[in-house]
Structure 1
Amino acid sequence: MNEFPIGLLFAILGLLLLLSAFFSSSETGMMSLNRYRLKHLANEGHRSARLASKLLEEPERLISVILIGNNLVNIAAASLSTIIAIRLLPGREDLAVGIATLLLTLVVLIFSEVTPKTLAQRHPERISFPASYILRVLSSVLSPAVWLVNGIVRGVFWLLRVGKHSSNDDSLSPEELKTIVNESSSTLPEERQSMLLGILELENVTVDDIMVPRNEVRGVDLEDNIEEIAAKIRTIEYTRFPLYKGDLDKVIGIMHIRDAAEFLYADEPSKVMLTKAAKDPYFVPENTPLHTQLINYQDQQLRMAFVVDEYGDIQGLVTLEDILEEIVGEFTTDIANSNKEIHPQRDGSFVIDGTASIRDINRALEWELPTDGPKTLNGLILEHIEDIPDANVSIKIASYLIEILQIKDNAVTAARIRNLGRARSTVDNIL
């Protein structure tokens, strides 16, 4: 080295620092790649993405190749900088070594570590995709060294009784998927984001959470006379409705409005026409998750089911449309105004029917009333009071002030609710 011109030594040192920057940026870039975008690009035929994905299949080998190369060039740069310093300061070797160490540390830190790694973290694909071609070649060239280093490392792990690492699993839990969807608001329209979250929430919601309660089910009682049955069919607002005898627990079947045409237009209509046209009733347990019920509907080509409790008593009715609304939302433009159970007031409060579902209230008004207990507003109030209350009684649940307006048949039929938390934040914003 003493025979080499000092300029050539500086050029070699600069090349070593560039190589160090390459290895540093490659390591950060490869580890910062979005694995799911990488898989997508690889499946689309992107050559660099395929190569990078293949290298990442063996992360230990990839890290070994990068670290071997990085340490080689860094150690060589340190030795060369010492030679250069000694040649520039002859006779003062101790001072030359100290200055070389200090300056090289500063240069490596700024230009071979922090700067390239920050750049690779910000633009991982731009750095990693071109680098993957070089790393593939180095992986073959340094294969013996990589094998030796990894063998020694495994031996050290064995001595320390460190078990084998678990295999890489890129699968995501539902909670992690929800986080990804929530953080994709800049690239995903709000409507689609809401639909994806709705799908992910299906497994956490059961049919009794969204069913039409038994007392709200509208059907046709076959014990009525022919004229009453015909009038009810003509005025019913649903395309499908249950047929029963005297009580909903004695359900006969499910009738589609088009199948009732023969009965409605017959010269001598009979109840037998309806019972023959009705389809057999379909029953589901009340704790059936929505995603399971959705698959059941698809497998059995059905759109309506009766929800039963552990004793077999009918608790309500759930339809395919009810499940779809959990995914896409209500089929209206303004849920709060279109929902007949929720009545906005001028003072910012809402008068809500006691039979309203708590989940529907939360969805319509973006509230957070507790849903882990009763399903309806009436049930929530009664559970909280633990008694049959009188009208004009007020209670507070979390940040919601609830005033009972009307009681009928031992049930709350109407209540006024004010969200104190929202009102307080609104006042804070004004101030």
Structure 2
Amino acid sequence: MSAVALAVAGGAVLLAGLAAAADGALLGGDPDPEPSPPVVGTLRRGERAHRALALTRVMAHLVAGAALARATGIQRGDGVRGWGIAFLVGLLVVIVVEGMSRSLGFATAPRLAIAFSPLIRVLDLVLSPVLRLGVVLDTTFERVMPAPSIEERAEQREEATEQFRQVVAAEADVSRDEEALLHGVFSLGDTAVREVMVPRVDIVGIEHTTNWSEVVDRVRSSEHARFPVYEETLDNIQGILYAKDLLPFVIDDDEPMHGWQTLIRPATFIPTSKAIDVQLRDFKAARTHIAIVSDEFGGTAGLVTIEDVLEEIVGEIHDEYDDEEPEIEQEDNKRFWVSGRLALDELSELLGQDFVREDLNTVGGLVYETFGRVPRAGETVKLGSYKMVIERVRRRRIERVYFERVQTPAGSAAVV
């Protein structure tokens, strides 16, 4: 064996191990700039540092492999056995160096990243011509093959999710109901809270200054289990009142000593854009079943309960108190009665016409945009190949809308 070749192999393996440890440290945490030298600022350029370390490891492994072959006297004519032994030794070295060193660096980050900052600077300086060439190649490839836009990536992700759901459904030989359940599970991450929340106009709340007898009457008549408590308006919610907290006092026919307001629990506020799969995990972690949805101005947009989220998976959940008309009714595939809360994408799929509008989510929003005001029951408008009739309006809320297929060609909306 050649002592020089073994020394070169050992040095190359050591360099590869140091580079792997430094790379693991960079992946494990961002270095703290306070106790570190100014060079730590360069470590924050993570992509360039990772490239320098990766290139160093590749070159070191190649040098180590060549040196080990020279030290052990392996030559071209040694046959399969000799090269097999060389391959196994090289593979073992790579596994040990890459696995142990990267794990050590990751476990001791960011302290080790700061300690290795001089090494990273040297490697960055020595390999800078190659790194610049890599940047030039990246830029060229990006111009020739531009990366997909955010919208395209979202569409690709949705297509991949739908294909995966179909494959799972086909392989598992599930029923129609089970397939709908799978669709609900896979769509959770793409559904925002604003799409399932109870809108502000439907919130049953209790004003903070309401007297005890009226609070009890409100709880008994509404048949809800949780009530937002507000001061003056729903934009100023103070907390949540649970009906079960009132039960002992209602049974004893006695008001709480310090007022029913002492029973109010803190409320959780969430943005309208929050994904419902995240909110479902938060409900589980916090052991709560209700959250107040705030709009971008800090007002109250609505509320969401764990039941609203679960209904996206299993469909509508009805109890013995529910007496609601179906969200969709149809006759002869020509006449359709829909709820004002029906999503526009569902309406488009049902009627075979695109009703989706930017910044609109529901049929009620479509009605407001079309009329430009609060319509009266019985008013009619033509939208494409359909006649839309406002069937029921309660105050400013669109409750029921009727669609009928007509023979006139698609055109601009005209109010009748």
CA distance in 2, matches of 1:390, 1:201: 36
TM-score of the pair, normalised by structure 2: 0.51
Q: Normalization by structure 1: what TM-score? A: 0.50
User: 1:323-381: CA deviations, max 9, x gaps?
Assistant: 11112221259xxx974364736666233453x24269659969775275323322111
Q: Distance in 2 between matches of 1:389 and 1:400?
A: 18
Name the residue aligned to 1:250.
236
Match of 1:298 in 2: 284
1:218 is matched by which residue type in structure 2?
Answer: V
- 1:345–1:185 Cα change, 3 Å: closer
Q: Match for residue 374 of structure 1? A: 360
1:198 aligned partner:
184
Q: What are the ranges of 5 or more consecutive residues in structure 2 without an aligned counterpart?
A: 1-79, 88-136, 139-155, 408-416
Secondary structure of 2:237's match? strand
Distance verdict in 2 for CA 1:342–1:325, change over 3 Å: closer
Q: 1:196 to 1:364 in 2, by over 3 A?
A: same
Shift of 1:212: 0.2
- Structure showing greater radius of gyration is 1
1:223 partner letter: T
**Cα deviation per residue 1:293-333 (whole Å; 9 max; x = unaligned)?**
22222232221100011111001000111111112221259
Within 5 Å, which residues of 2 pair with 1:58-73?
none
Question: Quick one: structure 1 residues 386 and 245, their matched pair in 2 at CA, closer, same or farther if it must change by over 3 Å?
Answer: closer
**Quick one: which of 161, 165, 170 aligns to 1:177?**
161
5+ residue gaps, structure 1, are: 1-139, 148-161, 164-171, 422-431
CA positional deviation for 1:235: 2.3
Displacement of 1:239 in angstroms is 2.1
Aligned to 1:73: none
One-letter amino acid matched to 1:382: Y
SS at match of 1:177: helix
CA contact (8 A) 2:345 2:356 kept: no
- Is 1:212 equivalent to 2:184 in the alignment? no
- 1:287 equivalent in structure 2: 273
Contact 2:208 2:261 (C-alpha < 8 Å) held by counterparts:
no
1:234 Cα deviation from its structure 2 partner:
1.7
Q: CA RMSD in A?
A: 4.1
Match in the other structure for 1:22: none
Give the 3-state SS of the residue equivalent to 1:253 in structure 2.
strand
Instruction: List aligned pairs for 1:15-414, cutoff 5 A.
Output: 173=157, 175-188=159-172, 189=174, 190-270=176-256, 272-331=258-317, 339-340=324-325, 342=327, 344=329, 349-354=335-340, 356-358=341-343, 362=347, 369-370=355-356, 372-389=358-375, 391-397=377-383, 400-406=386-392, 409=395, 412-414=398-400
Partners of 2:385 and 2:166 in 1: CA distance: 25
CA distance in 1, matches of 2:406, 2:329: 15
In the superposition, relative to structure 1, how do residues 375 and 346 fare at CA in structure 2: closer, same or farther (>3 Å)?
same
Tell me if the contact between 1:284 and 1:307 (Cα under 8 Å) persists in the aligned partners. Answer: yes
2:32 counterpart residue number: none
The equivalent residue for 2:9 is none
Taking only the aligned residue pairs, the percentage that are identical comes to 25
Task: Report SS of the residue matched to 1:276.
Answer: helix
1:110 equivalent in structure 2: none
C-alpha spacing 1:359/1:194, structure 2 compared with 1 (3 Å): farther
> Partner amino acid for 1:178?
E
Aligned length: 256
Distance 1:328 1:400, change over 3 A: farther
CA deviations over 1:17-53 (Å, ceiling 9, x no partner)? xxxxxxxxxxxxxxxxxxxxxxxxxxxxxxxxxxxxx
